[in-house]
Chains A and B, each alone.
Chain A
Amino acid sequence: MELNSQQQRLRSEFWQFVDVHVVPFANAWDRQEIMPPEIVRQMANHGYLGALVPVGKGGAGFDSVEFGLLNEELGRGCSSLRSLLTVHSMVALTVSRWGTENLKMQWLEKLGQGQAIGAFAITEAEAGSDAREIRTEAIECGDDFVLTGHKKWITFGQMADLFLVFADSQRGHCAFVLERDTPGLVILPVHGMLGTRASMMAELRLEQCRIPKQNLVGAPGFGLSHIASSALDCGRYSVAWGCVGIGQACLESCLQYSGQRKQSGVLLRERQLIQRMITQMVAGVKAARLLCYHAGQLRDAGDPTSIIETSIAKYFACRTAAEIARDAVQIHGANGCSSEYPVERFYRDSKIMEIVEGSNEIQEITIARSAFESVTETATATR
């Protein structure tokens, strides 16, 4: 897999950004459970928050591979910051793809320039893997919708200026743009999560939030099948690349640590059991990255198989990152359990990746179904 010159240039830029602005601070952000506004401004100034917004609309207009490379590098530094890129891009992409002209005029440039931060609000206490279970209601009332419900674990909910909110209505599931200052919207910080602790997570209480009908994204009944589905596909792609970054960061930490730490007078790197773990890390990261590249190329080609290939990349990359992070802690021993070293953060963050944007188990159902379909297809073709 060879990157073109533009992709190579951007990768080098992303790598430098993360090494200078992210890596030295990520452990502190994690401990304090905060994402400083300054780093968000830096992301905006570099155009990263407009990664998926077209150039003509105020964004950077990255292709899928470029967007993936940005996610890998941010994931290498800080999964919480990468998750900002994920949810913000999901919202920006949705407005760009499915928004009315009014919504695009109102929000797209602001999202592309990072003047407004977007967050994706679908999850509820009783609606995780199966979004059809959402209980948030949208009641049509003249020219408005009135939203009532309770969203939970909303990444960057503490910081977002607008939310892409999903609700059920008499005409089926709907997606809405909900502004932060809407009367009736109460935002409560969530603390004490296992991982991505700096992702400014929040609960949203929607207490009769009245919003104009023009805030509807797409049409009633298409909220899950098209709006959420396309946004989550983007989210899975972003998380998959972010996991490649986690794996790469763990590998680099282990290469350095095992070259310094002696046990019984011998460097860890000389131990064959350590070498086995390093080998598995190297192979795992490379394989996950290739699956992500493959999905990225299909996405840029607008290929329908990009959706299942993104699921496969996400599934493999998340599992691989979790396995690598577990071994990275093992190699670091007691130091790996200490917040003085980043691998304990990678370990906690990698667990989150196996749950968000479709858990491992949901991916297994999806990928297996697709595999069975392809068998049927072959059998049909040979009849």
Chain B
Amino acid sequence: MEQAKEKLRAFIGRHTGGRVIDDDDRIFAAGFVNSMFAMQLVLFLEKNFQIAIGNDDLDLKNFQTINAMVDLIGRKAAPPQTNAR
């Protein structure tokens, strides 16, 4: 998890003029990033964490902070739950 946060911090930092981003900083609300960043972030998450982001994931809560994105990665990467025993 810490590794994922580090990767995210480095990526976001590249798009925020080197600004240090805390795990709970709301990166979109603070206006740190430009309009192109949203899709760059989606591609970054997909490529680096082998997840696919689709319609159901489009909730601002999923992308607001580093902690939220790490949660999203955890949920997407987890194998689907099954009732089979």
List residues of chain A with CB under 8 Å of any chain B CB: 97-100, 217-219, 221-222, 224-226, 229-230, 233, 301-308, 366, 369, 373-374, 376-377, 379-380
How many chain-B residues does the 8 Å CB contact rule pick out? 23
Question: How many residue pairs at the A-B interface have CB separations less than 8 Å?
Answer: 63
Give residues of chain B (57-83) contacting chain A, Cβ–Cβ below 8 Å: 58-60
> How distant is A364 from chain B, measured CB to nearest CB, in Å?
14
In the complex, chain B residues whose CB is within 8 Å of the CB of A230? 39, 42
Select from chain B the residue with minimum beta-carbon distance to A97. B54
A221-B36 in contact (CB<8A): no
Question: How many Å lie between the Cα of A377 and that of B54 in the bound state?
Answer: 30
B47-A98 in contact (CB<8A): no
Listed from nearest, the 10 A-B pairs whose CB atoms lie closest are A380-B18, A225-B38, A219-B58, A304-B43, A304-B40, A304-B44, A302-B47, A229-B39, A222-B58, A376-B18
A380-B13 in contact (CB<8A): yes
Chain B binding surface, main DSSP class: helix
What are 20 A-to-B residue pairs whose CB atoms are below 8 Å? A97-B54, A98-B55, A100-B55, A219-B55, A225-B35, A226-B38, A229-B36, A229-B38, A230-B39, A233-B39, A302-B47, A304-B41, A304-B43, A305-B40, A306-B43, A307-B40, A308-B36, A366-B36, A373-B17, A379-B18
Chain A binding surface, main DSSP class: helix
The reply to whether the CB of B15 lies closer than 8 angstroms to some CB of chain A is yes
Question: How many Å lie between the Cα of A99 and that of B54 in the bound state?
Answer: 8
Give residues of chain B (20-40) contacting chain A, Cβ–Cβ below 8 Å: 34-36, 38-40
In the complex, chain A residues whose CB is within 8 Å of the CB of B46? 302
In the complex, chain B residues whose CB is within 8 Å of the CB of A304? 11, 40-41, 43-44, 47
